[in-house]
Amino acid sequence: MESHEDELCFPHLLNSSCKKTMHPHFVSMLIYIVLFSISLLTVTLNLLVIISISHFRQLHTPTNLLLLSLAVSDFFVGLILFFQIMLLDGCWFLGDLMCILYIVLDYIIVSSSVGIMVLISVDRYVAICEPLHYSNKVTQKRVKMSVCLCWTCSGFVLILLLQDHMKELGRHNSCIGECIIVITYIAELAELFFLFIGPVTVIIVLYMRVFVVAVTQARAMRSHVAALPLKFSMTITAKKSEMKAARTLGVVVVVFLLCVCPYYCVALSKKDNLINLSSATVVLCVFYFNSCLNPLIYAFFYPWFRKSMKLIVTLKILQPGSCERNLL
């Protein structure tokens, strides 16, 4: 039989150590293996996306810059999953400072991912609904500024929310080995609105509009394609390409919503404002799993990603002039 000391995070601190969350050995091993596999796959696949878009100049488009930013966010999500694995037994061994830094990084990545999803929706809205103005409105410079603003605002707002925790590290910990934060009711409502209700509403409204316009344009093209002169064939091809991109990114957005909703549904059902990172592991991992799915969606829908992966895996990107290769 296990002793009381074996159930503590720090057995040598009998009176102040937190207790471990005990799981059956088989369940623990299964969870560790699954989470480690997801984490490793997430880091690897998103690293391929980052290298692909960064290396090949043909992929330096405004839309792909948004995918690059999303891949960077998803890459860090994969790294954060390693910390989630460590928190499965309810023990935090890295100290109060690393606890706060971990929470800040976690929230910045989550909020930035939501912001980038909104930017992707705006990008597809302009491309489909205002195609004549797309090249003027959506430029690489504006996309870069928008992405930087998204990350900066996420970090600034969250640091403001956690400034009291920064002043007095571990002030709400009831025992050694605990990593929790306490958020005020107003801050919790603000987080819920700015990170879930507001962005999700914007995304749904924009994509409903994109869907309606895309269907209308598709019907118009089918009815007039036979009557159009050959010189308009490139315009039709461009429109089809934009619609395909809208459909692919629509899948990314829908999968994102399906993965993020469980977390915020749990947040809505809470009766207190105490967030325990150990108890929230399951719903967080459902959200984090989205970061692993995004590159798989790209691989399924984007031929350029499959081609670039082959070039990266075979190390052909190290050849001179490889960045000029035609992938489209």
Domain ranges of the chain: 5-221+231-324
% of the chain surpassing 70 pLDDT: 78
Q: 75-90 in b/e burial notation, b at 16+ Cβ within 10 A?
A: bbbbebbebbbebbbb
pLDDT at position 282 over 70: no
Q: Which residue has the higher pLDDT, 282 or 286?
A: 286
Q: Does domain 5-221+231-324 have CATH number 1.20.1070.10?
A: yes
Whether residue 138 is predicted with pLDDT greater than 60 in this model: the reply is yes
The confidence score (pLDDT) of residue 237 equals 53
Q: DSSP labels for 75-141? A: HHHHHHHHHHHHGGGS---SHHHHHHHHHHHHHHHHHHHHHHHHHHHHHHHHHHHSGGGHHHHS-HH
pLDDT band at 242 (very low <50, low <70, confident <90, very high): low
- pTM (2 d.p.): 0.81
Furthest-apart CA pair in the chain: how many Å?
Answer: 84
Helix spans in the chain (H)? 25-55, 62-86, 95-129, 134-137, 140-161, 163-167, 185-192, 198-224, 233-269, 281-301, 303-313
Query: Per the structure block, which two tokens stand in for 76?
Result: 């860090």
Q: Does pLDDT of 240 surpass 90?
A: no
Q: Give pLDDT tens digits for 30-75.
A: 778 878 888 899 999 999 999 999 999 889 989 899 999 999 998 9
Residue 232 pLDDT > 70: no
pLDDT at 1: 40
User: By the 8 A CB rule, do 45 and 77 touch?
Assistant: no
